A and B are shown apart, each in its own frame.
Chain A
Amino acid sequence: MIGPATTAILSHWRRHPGQCLTLFLGLALATALWSGVQAINAEARAAYRQAASVLGQDQLARLDSPWGGPIPLADYINLRRAGYLVSPVIEGTLGTFRLLGIDPLTAPPEAQPTLLAEGALDVADFTSGAGLILLSADTLPETLPDGLPPVRTVKGLMPRTGITDIAIAARLLGQSDPSYLLVLPRQPAGLPDLAGNTPGLRLTEGGGFSTPGQLTDSFHLSLTAFGLLAFAVGLFIVHAATGLAFEQRRASFRTLRALGLPLRTLIAVLLAELLAFALIAGGVGLILGYAMAAVLMPGVAGTLRGLYGAEVSGEVLFRTEWGLAGLGIAVLGTVAAAGHGVLRVARLPLLAPAQPRAWAIASGQTMRWQSGAALVLFATAFALALFGTGLAGGFACLAALLIGAALALPPVLAAVLGAIRWPRAGPMAEWLWADTRQQLPGLSLALMALLLALAANIGVSTMVGSFRGTFLEWLDQRLASELYVTVRNKAEARALRDALSPRVDAILPVVSVAAVFYDMPADLYGIADHATYRDHWPLLSSEPDVWDRVARGTGILVNEQLARRTGLTLGDAIPLATDWDLPLVGVYPDYGNPAGQAIIGLDLFAERFPDIPHLALAIRTDPGSVPALIRDLQEAFALPPRFVVDQSQVKHISLQVFEQTFRITGALNALTLGVAAFALLTSLLTLSRMRLAQLAPVWAIGQTRRRLAVIEMVRSGVLTLLTFVLAIPVGLALARVLLTVVNVEAFGWRLPMRIFPADWLRLGLCALLAAALAEAWPAWCLARTAPAQLLKVFTSER
């Protein structure tokens, strides 16, 4: 019995290959988007783990200077001479290249590159002679700084990070004092506790470092949310396809049962069929997801680098963790989406008339239920926006908002369609309107998907656009100087000043030192007292005499993210050293910077950090003279091009970083919209087969098939347009939550919201185009439907 039954049930797909393809594509797309996002996340997480473990930093305790500067070499030697097992690291950057100098003679195995620890690389080759620098294969050689030792590419390193012997790092970075000391996990017997014997140094236990973890979590959470959204949209497709397949096979099911096939067997066969679909389509989805991740990963890596300073490789590996999860969710999703159909088969009365009935027509009761749930969710979202805390609160708020909006869509659309009366509409318009309303339940799932995609699109693009606009304004204010010059040493700095003084309006040194505020790494800057800052430097809040106080050395400025993270307000005394604190006199926006930052007056800085040379100079001059200045500087001082940068170049680079940062967002947006359009297509296809009963009488009464097809197009357009209009407020609410809750939690800055109606217009046209494309196929089919097909409606059961 099972054999023939299976054959009978499966023969459906042979006769409906399009349906089979739809189901397959829906599942594969859903799995692809989900697992692609998961692959990206897994890759990035692996990169963070790796980053943290490059020097065993995730496990080893560390000694560093509480002021962020290097540790005096003598302190290191004294610790070793006292018997403590500590290993020095000299770390620094050459441009954007991160260099880690380790001492393989004292480093514990877990803090050494695998090659060294396992003995596959000679310590002598690493340490002596010209030395070696270990790089990951995806660090492009042409982007490397000059003067590096011979390169050896190894696996397991982050891009743009080189590991070399401490002696080479010391030479390249011009720093002989260790940046920090790794503390070996086991210390010799009989020594006093290290914690009490490191005057002037700070001991941090392993695992206590601020990794990019918390910050990047928000990014991955949002990626996951996108993935989930896309998966849900994909499930709409699956739901539509299986719903249709089950509906069309109802007669077969009944016949099979009447012939004596037990219900249990029938259900089992159907479940097996679904499982096979899930596994095969899910497998294809995994491959697609992998491909998608591989395409998107470089963008993600750029985002993570730009926004969070986290180094992630642009490669994607197939990992079982997301592979299995992807297949699992494909199976679960299939069962969830098709469960309704299976359930209906289970309840199918043996002798019920095979009256065709639209499978998805939702009753008014469903609408009421949806309205109620939507209201509860909106209330939840509102409460979360007001009282929620943390990133999780922000995302919960977003979720409640979006799901609520999706649930509210069918009742709202029904109400809108019901409320609008066209007093002078012709009979066809009246029919169109009435029919659209009636078709709503069948399309509501697809329209919900469309709403979510559109709202996400509007929300995210509003957020990005607001960010971009604010960022550009901020760049204009912040980059007031015409030229930025970096020199290599004090002598050069002096010579440069002498050479430039007569030719320019002002030479403003910019000095900085790595520091730690409230246990978080931050940069402390010293700036000159000049109109450049007084007139241009953007401030979010400040004391009235802010610039005077900074100039006098009696006040400090901090960036917004530092102020938010630590809850600082104006007037708070900020401890800079045990014997030194300054009141906060101003907070300035510092977009795009993952780290905390503070500014004090140049004189005070020079007094406190006399050894830090003034090597970075901002130069004010007539913009027209800049090209000549650059040329002269490069000739006179033989400065490499990147040491002399004019304002427009800096802006260009900043913008590039910015655009790179949000490329992934755009890509995911487009993908989600694409899937939503596909969901719409499948829903329309499904419905079009059931709509003959509605269309045939109109046709018979005197309409051409072509006109009907046009009307169908118009109907889809109307629904899409209405959905789009409703998506705008949802998208704006989404943007508002992103800007005022999520961004503040994730990045530490709050941005003013800007509205971009032109973008909406573009998106609206996109949505209409998507709807038109989705409707085009069913409409074309309708226009070509044979009259006999339509006539069958009147003469027999279909």
Chain B
Amino acid sequence: MNAKVACLALLLSAGIAFAQGFAGLGTDAEGFLTPMPGPEFRFPRDHGAHLGYRIEWWYLTATLTDADGRDYGVQWTLFRSALEPRTIRGWRPGQIWMGHAGLTTDQAHFAAERFARGGLGQAGVTTDPFVAWIDDWAMTSRAEGGADALSLINVVARGLDFAYDLWLEAQGPPIFHGDGGFSVKSADGQASHYYSQPFYTVAGTLALPDGNIPVTGTAWLDREWSSRPLSPDQRGWDWFSLQFADGARMMGFGLRSDVRATFTAATWIAPDGTTTAYPDGALKLTPLGTRRVAGRQIPIRWRVELPARGVDVETAPLNPHSWMATTVPYWEGPIRFTGSHEGRGYLEMTGYE
């Protein structure tokens, strides 16, 4: 889930106040580890924080439906950004944590944001038991026995005017993007460690101003960490996750550059979790129409083509105004797609000024 890397990097380059807190990190990785090819993942350790790397996230998106068949989307994200490659006890911010929560209906979009400094207990991630939290927002493992910690999780978050409480059960194994979890982000070699759990089924409750709504659906969890995720010329990206009727999944992104062609990458995930990574150019993303959202022109409809898999679909958002009006604003919301395939997914678009 490349998008998040870029999200943080963009924070920097966008020159927004808080973003610049991470600014030094976007351009050099001094004192921090650099993702190297051929990573070895070990769980539960790698579900936890990798303090040696500058940025990291736990990123969940869910496409949900209520009893009346109405669609919903939910986002839960915990970002970690390191000022120093260690946790410092006390007020000094060795790590800064940021939480984003979103809830999209066909009529409205809710967003909330939290910040915390590490070292106090206000936010953090533990692996045994697995909990990722900021304030009262938490992603908590409910897995028992020897099962993978992320195979059964409870996710809660709360904003000023919404809340949700979801239970997620993995129906397949975690999968690794790129080359065994080494995901390249640009022709210059920027990369991250990147794995996902794309096979969650979800049941839970959304608390909206009009009342509580029981929902069911599917969800996708991204885990990614890096120290130097983007090239300096990369300004924004468009990230898709698509779910196909046969149980297959697809992840694809395009990183837009000021000076070069968009860098694309995709992962095809078979229903059994087998993955195929597609290099730059295999995926083709074409905006079909823009709409004015939060004062910007946002391409909310896309043509997504992965000829190698016979994919040629057009996407449409559940709610064109799925705008995350957070410190660094971006568009993130559930979509449906039609064409060669039909199904639901999630779209994230950043860097539209």
Fill in one digit per residue for A45-83: 1 if any B CB lies within 8 Å of its CB, else 0. Answer: 000000000000000000000000000010001001111
Alpha-carbon distance between A82 and B137 when the two chains are bound, in angstroms? 9
| Contact A121/B83 with A81-B135, A105-B117 known, Cβ cut-off 8 Å | no
B207 and A124 contacting across the interface, CB-CB below 8 Å: no
B135 and A80 contacting across the interface, CB-CB below 8 Å: yes
B187-239 contacts to A, CB under 8 A, are 207, 209
Does B28 lie at the interface of the complex (its beta carbon under 8 Å from any beta carbon of A)? no
Among listed B70-78, B90-98, B280-288, interface-contacting one = B90-98
Alpha-carbon distance between A399 and B207 when the two chains are bound, in angstroms? 64
What is the distance, in angstroms, from B52's C-beta to the closest C-beta of chain A?
18
Among listed A184-192, A482-490, A511-519, A785-793, interface-contacting one = A184-192
| Contact A124/B135 with A105-B96, A176-B90 known, Cβ cut-off 8 Å | no
Does B136 lie at the interface of the complex (its beta carbon under 8 Å from any beta carbon of A)? yes
A77 and B160 contacting across the interface, CB-CB below 8 Å: no
B12-43 contacts to A, CB under 8 A, are 16-18, 20-24
A123 and B163 contacting across the interface, CB-CB below 8 Å: no
Does A116 lie at the interface of the complex (its beta carbon under 8 Å from any beta carbon of B)? yes
A77 and B96 contacting across the interface, CB-CB below 8 Å: no
A122 and B17 contacting across the interface, CB-CB below 8 Å: yes
Does A270 lie at the interface of the complex (its beta carbon under 8 Å from any beta carbon of B)? no
Alpha-carbon distance between A83 and B93 when the two chains are bound, in angstroms? 21
Fill in one digit per residue for B169-198: 1 if any A CB lies within 8 Å of its CB, else 0. Answer: 000000000000000000000000000000
Contacts of A566 in B (CB 8 A): none
Alpha-carbon distance between A83 and B163 when the two chains are bound, in angstroms? 11
Contacts of B90 in A (CB 8 A): 167, 170, 176
B82-137 contacts to A, CB under 8 A, are 83, 90-93, 96, 112, 115-117, 120-122, 133, 135-136
What is the distance, in angstroms, from A25's C-beta to the closest C-beta of chain B?
54
Does A712 lie at the interface of the complex (its beta carbon under 8 Å from any beta carbon of B)? no
Does A127 lie at the interface of the complex (its beta carbon under 8 Å from any beta carbon of B)? yes
B20 and A80 contacting across the interface, CB-CB below 8 Å: no
What is the distance, in angstroms, from B27's C-beta to the closest C-beta of chain A?
14
Fill in one digit per residue for B237-279: 1 if any A CB lies within 8 Å of its CB, else 0. Answer: 0000000000000000000000000000000000000000000
Does B159 lie at the interface of the complex (its beta carbon under 8 Å from any beta carbon of A)? yes
Does B144 lie at the interface of the complex (its beta carbon under 8 Å from any beta carbon of A)? no
Q: Which residue of B lies closest to A120 (CB)?
A: B17
Contacts of A165 in B (CB 8 A): 91
Contacts of B163 in A (CB 8 A): 188-190
Contacts of A166 in B (CB 8 A): 91
B120 and A73 contacting across the interface, CB-CB below 8 Å: yes
Fill in one digit per residue for A185-216: 1 if any B CB lies within 8 Å of its CB, else 0. Answer: 01111110000000000000000000000000
B115 and A190 contacting across the interface, CB-CB below 8 Å: no
B21 and A124 contacting across the interface, CB-CB below 8 Å: yes
A124 and B22 contacting across the interface, CB-CB below 8 Å: yes
Contacts of B112 in A (CB 8 A): 188
Contacts of A176 in B (CB 8 A): 90-91
A189 and B160 contacting across the interface, CB-CB below 8 Å: yes
Contacts of B21 in A (CB 8 A): 122-124, 127-128
A167 and B92 contacting across the interface, CB-CB below 8 Å: yes
Alpha-carbon distance between A511 and B59 when the two chains are bound, in angstroms? 52
B135 and A167 contacting across the interface, CB-CB below 8 Å: no
Does A380 lie at the interface of the complex (its beta carbon under 8 Å from any beta carbon of B)? no
Contacts of A105 in B (CB 8 A): 93, 96, 115-117
What is the distance, in angstroms, from A200's C-beta to the closest C-beta of chain B?
18
Does B68 lie at the interface of the complex (its beta carbon under 8 Å from any beta carbon of A)? no
A191 and B158 contacting across the interface, CB-CB below 8 Å: yes
Fill in one digit per residue for A132-148: 1 if any B CB lies within 8 Å of its CB, else 0. Answer: 00000000000000000
Alpha-carbon distance between A77 and B133 when the two chains are bound, in angstroms? 12
Which of B24, B133, B158 lies at the interface centre, i.e. has the most chain A CB atoms within 10 A of its CB?
B158
Does A103 lie at the interface of the complex (its beta carbon under 8 Å from any beta carbon of B)? yes
What is the distance, in angstroms, from A78's C-beta to the closest C-beta of chain B?
9
B91 and A170 contacting across the interface, CB-CB below 8 Å: yes
> CB within 8 A of A188: which of B20, B133, B159?
B159
> CB within 8 A of A106: which of B16, B24, B115, B136?
B115
Alpha-carbon distance between A125 and B22 when the two chains are bound, in angstroms? 10
Alpha-carbon distance between A205 and B16 when the two chains are bound, in angstroms? 33
B207 and A80 contacting across the interface, CB-CB below 8 Å: no
Contacts of A3 in B (CB 8 A): none
Alpha-carbon distance between A189 and B162 when the two chains are bound, in angstroms? 6
Does A17 lie at the interface of the complex (its beta carbon under 8 Å from any beta carbon of B)? no
Contacts of B209 in A (CB 8 A): 189
Does A544 lie at the interface of the complex (its beta carbon under 8 Å from any beta carbon of B)? no
> CB within 8 A of B158: which of A127, A128, A190?
A190
Does A119 lie at the interface of the complex (its beta carbon under 8 Å from any beta carbon of B)? yes
A296-324 contacts to B, CB under 8 A, are none
A80 and B122 contacting across the interface, CB-CB below 8 Å: yes
Alpha-carbon distance between A73 and B24 when the two chains are bound, in angstroms? 30
What is the distance, in angstroms, from B200's C-beta to the closest C-beta of chain A?
24
Alpha-carbon distance between A189 and B112 when the two chains are bound, in angstroms? 11
| Contact A123/B18 with A82-B136, A190-B158 known, Cβ cut-off 8 Å | yes
Alpha-carbon distance between A190 and B23 when the two chains are bound, in angstroms? 36
Contacts of B158 in A (CB 8 A): 83, 188-191
B115 and A116 contacting across the interface, CB-CB below 8 Å: no
What is the distance, in angstroms, from B76's C-beta to the closest C-beta of chain A?
15
A103 and B162 contacting across the interface, CB-CB below 8 Å: no
A103-131 contacts to B, CB under 8 A, are 103, 105-106, 116, 119-125, 127-129
Fill in one digit per residue for A590-631: 1 if any B CB lies within 8 Å of its CB, else 0. Answer: 000000000000000000000000000000000000000000
A261-306 contacts to B, CB under 8 A, are none
Alpha-carbon distance between A251 and B171 when the two chains are bound, in angstroms? 112
Contacts of A121 in B (CB 8 A): 17
A119 and B16 contacting across the interface, CB-CB below 8 Å: yes
What is the distance, in angstroms, from B202's C-beta to the closest C-beta of chain A?
20
Alpha-carbon distance between A176 and B83 when the two chains are bound, in angstroms? 20
Contacts of B92 in A (CB 8 A): 167, 171
A77 and B117 contacting across the interface, CB-CB below 8 Å: no
Which of A77, A81, A105, A191 lies at the interface centre, i.e. has the most chain B CB atoms within 10 A of its CB?
A105
Fill in one digit per residue for B300-334: 1 if any A CB lies within 8 Å of its CB, else 0. Answer: 00000000000000000000000000000000000
Alpha-carbon distance between A122 and B93 when the two chains are bound, in angstroms? 15
A127 and B161 contacting across the interface, CB-CB below 8 Å: no
Contacts of A82 in B (CB 8 A): 136
Alpha-carbon distance between A190 and B110 when the two chains are bound, in angstroms? 15
Alpha-carbon distance between A116 and B115 when the two chains are bound, in angstroms? 15
Contacts of A171 in B (CB 8 A): 92
Alpha-carbon distance between A127 and B23 when the two chains are bound, in angstroms? 13
| Contact A81/B136 with A116-B17, A122-B17 known, Cβ cut-off 8 Å | yes
Contacts of B121 in A (CB 8 A): 77, 81
What is the distance, in angstroms, from B160's C-beta to the closest C-beta of chain A?
5
Which of A116, A120, A166, A167 lies at the interface centre, i.e. has the most chain B CB atoms within 10 A of its CB?
A167
A123 and B17 contacting across the interface, CB-CB below 8 Å: yes
Contacts of B135 in A (CB 8 A): 80-81, 83
Contacts of A120 in B (CB 8 A): 17
Alpha-carbon distance between A191 and B90 when the two chains are bound, in angstroms? 27
Contacts of B159 in A (CB 8 A): 188-189
Write 13 A-B pairs (CB below 8 A) sorted by A numbering: A77-B120, A80-B122, A81-B135, A82-B136, A106-B115, A119-B16, A122-B23, A165-B91, A167-B93, A167-B117, A187-B160, A188-B163, A191-B158
Question: Which A-B residue pairs are the 6 nearest by beta carbons?
Answer: A124-B21, A83-B136, A167-B91, A119-B17, A105-B115, A188-B158
Other than the given A77-B120, A189-B158, 18 more pairs (CB < 8 A) read A81-B133, A83-B135, A83-B158, A101-B91, A119-B16, A122-B20, A123-B18, A123-B20, A124-B18, A124-B23, A128-B83, A129-B83, A186-B160, A189-B159, A189-B161, A189-B162, A189-B163, A190-B163
